[in-house]
Amino acid sequence: MLPNEGPPPSLPVQLLHSITRRRHRVYGLIGGVVLLLAVTVWVYGGFETGIDFFTSVPRPAPPPPPPPQHDPPANHDAITTHAAVDVINGAPSTTAGGVAAPTQTETQADEHPAPDPPQETIEPTDDWRHSNQSPAAASVTPGIPTKIWQILLPKKPDDKTWKADPKSLEDTASWLALNTDYMYTLVSQKGGEELVSNHFSHDPRIIEAYHNMPNVGMKSDLMRYLLLEAEGGVYTDTDTVALQPINDWVPADLRDKVAVVVGFEFDKLDGPWWADINHWVQFCQWTIAAAPGHPLFRSMVDRIIASLDDLSAHYNVPVQDLKPKSFEVMNSTGPAAFTDVVFEQLRLRDPSLKDTADLSGLTEPKLFGDILVLPIDGFGMGQQHSNSTNDGSVPPTALVRHRFKGGWRGSKRRRSEKWRA
Ligand SMILES: *[C@@H]1O[C@H](CO)[C@@H](O)[C@H](O)[C@H]1NC(C)=O
Ligand SMILES: *[C@@H]1O[C@H](CO)[C@@H](O)[C@H](O)[C@H]1NC(C)=O
C-alpha cells in the first residue's frame, strides 16, 4: 500500500494547507528578523535610545576616553611645561615682566587657568628622567626677553680714573637702531657688582669667583653668563655689529620653543686644526641670546669654578694670582669651556650627538630641544675660515658681525687669526 493512495484532498483543503504553509513561512521570517535584531542588539550593546534589551548579557565595556591631548613627546615640550608652571607659581614678576614673548605667557595663562599638577602631565614623556642623564637638561619658558646687555670694564680692576672711550661703543648704535623696543644696559664695574650681589648672594662660590677672577677678560666672560642666567636677553660684545633685528633671529615657527640661541665661531670642515681651538666646531660667546634661568648658564658657571680650581691646583697658587695662558682662559671662562658646556646641553637633548664634528657644516638653524644652533654665518660671518661668507656680501642668514677689534682677548684672537689665515 502506498501512503498517498487515498483520493487527492479537495480544493478547500489544499487551499487551507497552502495558507498554513505561507503563514509558517511568515512566522519563520518574523522569527528570523527578531533573532537577527536580538543578535545585533547583543553585539552592539543596545540602541542609542538607551533601552537595554539584554540586561543579563554583559555589554562590551565602553571605549576608553580619548587620551589627553599631549604635545609630541619631545623632551623640551614636557620639561618646558613643568618649568613654565614653576615660574608662574614661583616668581610671577619674572614671567610677567621679563619674558619677551608675552603672547606665550598669556596663552599659557589662558589655556591653563587652573594648571593641573605638573608632574602628572610630565612624567610619562620625560625622557631624561628615564635615561641616566642629569636633570640639567631641564628647561625654562622659551622666549628671549627684550633686553640687550654689553659689558665694558676697565683693564685694571680698581682704576678710579678710568673712563669709557666713546669709540669703543660705536658699534652699539647698530644694536639700538635695529632693536628700538629693547632695553639696553651697559654693565661696568658698579653694575656688575650689583648684579652679582643682587642675584647670587645665596651662592658664595659665585661671589668669590667673580671677585677673584685673575683678569678682566675672564671677569667679563663670567659676567655675561651670570647676566643671562639672572635676567636673560641678548649679551653681545661691544665690537659686534647688529645686522638683523633680534626679533627676526628665531624663525617664526620656532619662537615658542627657543630658550637659547648660540652660534659658531669656528668650524674646521676640511681645513686645518687651529692652535687654541680644541673642538671641531667651537661656539662663540661674543653673542648669546637666552631666556632667564636656563640651566646652560648654571652649568657654565659650575664649569668656570671647577676650571679655576683645577688651574689653581695645577700651578699651586690662589685663583686670584693665576696668570692664565691664552688657552687656559679659553678653556676656563672662554669659548672652549663654553663649547664643552653647550655641547653637553645639546647631548642631553639629543643623545645621538657624539662629537662637536656632528654639528659641522650646518647650513641652517637647527633646534636641539630648546637650544637653537645657528650656522656659521649667524654670529660668525666675515671670517677667513669655517666657510664663513667673506666676499664682502652680507647673507640674509648673518645676524651679527664680530669685528674682533677691542678687548683683552680680541687682539690676541686677531693675531692668531692672521697667523692662521
Ligand atoms: C680644560 O679644562 C677642563 C676643566 O678644568 C680640564 O678638565 C681639561 O683637561 C682642559 N682641557 C685641556 C685640553 O687642557
Ligand atoms: C660652504 O657653504 C656653502 C653654502 O652654504 C655650501 O654650499 C658648501 O657646501 C659649504 N662648503 C663646505 C666645505 O661645507
pLDDT tens, residue by residue, 43-99: 554 444 443 333 334 444 444 444 433 333 333 333 332 333 233 232 333 333 333
Q: Is the pLDDT of residue 211 over 70?
A: yes
Residue 410 domain-assigned (yes or no): yes
Model pLDDT, residue 306: 98
The residue ranking higher by pLDDT, 117 or 279, is 279
At 376-388, the pLDDT tens digits run 999 999 999 999 9
Tell me how many domains the chain contains. Answer: 1
Residue 120 domain-assigned (yes or no): no
Model pTM score:
0.69
Decide: 310 in ligand 1 pocket, CB within 6 A: yes
SS3 204: helix
Q: Is the pLDDT of residue 22 over 80?
A: no
Which secondary-structure segment (H or E) carries 242?
strand 240-242
Atom of ligand 2 nearest to the CA of 269: 13
Residue 93 domain-assigned (yes or no): no
Model pLDDT, residue 335: 97
Residue 135 domain-assigned (yes or no): no
Pocket perturbation via mutation, ligand 1, pick of 330, 331, 338, 340 by most ligand atoms within 8 A of CB: 331
| Arithmetic mean of pLDDT, 150-166 | 89
| Arithmetic mean of pLDDT, 257-277 | 95
At 309-363, the pLDDT tens digits run 999 999 999 999 999 999 999 999 999 999 999 999 999 999 999 999 999 999 9
- Confidence tier at 35 by pLDDT (50, 70, 90): low
Sign of CA dihedral 181, 186, 191, 193: positive
- Confidence tier at 158 by pLDDT (50, 70, 90): confident
Residue 162 domain-assigned (yes or no): yes
Residue 98 domain-assigned (yes or no): no
List the CATH number of the domain containing 210.
3.90.550
| Arithmetic mean of pLDDT, 272-285 | 94
Model pLDDT, residue 42: 54
Ligand found nearest the CA of 390: 2
Pocket perturbation via mutation, ligand 2, pick of 363, 366, 377 by most ligand atoms within 8 A of CB: 363
Highest mean pLDDT among 30-44, 151-165, 313-327, 399-413 belongs to: 313-327
Residue 21 domain-assigned (yes or no): no
At 282-296, the pLDDT tens digits run 999 999 999 999 999
Centroid of ligand 2 to alpha carbon of 362 (angstroms): 9
Model pLDDT, residue 198: 97
Q: Is the pLDDT of residue 412 over 80?
A: no
Structural domain harbouring 311 = 143-420
Centroid of ligand 2 to alpha carbon of 269 (angstroms): 9
Residue 35 has which C-alpha cell?
Answer: 533573532
Q: Is the pLDDT of residue 133 over 50?
A: no
Residue 201 domain-assigned (yes or no): yes
| Arithmetic mean of pLDDT, 144-157 | 94
Model pLDDT, residue 109: 30
Does residue 83 contact residue 141 with C-beta atoms inside 8 Å? Answer: yes
Centroid of ligand 1 to alpha carbon of 327 (angstroms): 10
- Nearest alpha carbon, ligand 2 atom 2: 387
Centroid of ligand 2 to alpha carbon of 279 (angstroms): 19
Sign of CA dihedral 196, 200, 201, 205: negative
Pocket of ligand 2 (CB under 6 A): 269-270, 361, 363, 387
Model pLDDT, residue 326: 94
Q: Quick one: what percent of the chain has pLDDT higher than 90? A: 60
Model pLDDT, residue 136: 53
Atom of ligand 1 nearest to the CA of 306: 5
Rounded-to-integer distance, Cα 291 and Cα 353, Å: 24
Which secondary-structure segment (H or E) carries 233?
strand 233-236
The DSSP bridge pattern shows strands 147-151 and 233-236 to be parallel
Q: Is the pLDDT of residue 100 over 60?
A: no
Among the ranges given (102-111, 130-139, 363-372, 391-400), the one the predictor scored with the smallest mean pLDDT: 102-111
Centroid of ligand 1 to alpha carbon of 328 (angstroms): 8
- Nearest alpha carbon, ligand 2 atom 13: 269
Decide: 325 in ligand 1 pocket, CB within 6 A: no
Centroid of ligand 2 to alpha carbon of 361 (angstroms): 7
Rounded-to-integer distance, Cα 37 and Cα 44, Å: 10
Model pLDDT, residue 159: 82
Q: Is the pLDDT of residue 243 over 60?
A: yes
Decide: 307 in ligand 1 pocket, CB within 6 A: yes
| Arithmetic mean of pLDDT, 199-224 | 96
Atom of ligand 2 nearest to the CA of 375: 5
Rounded-to-integer distance, Cα 232 and Cα 147, Å: 7
Does residue 82 contact residue 118 with C-beta atoms inside 8 Å? Answer: yes
Atom of ligand 1 nearest to the CA of 331: 1
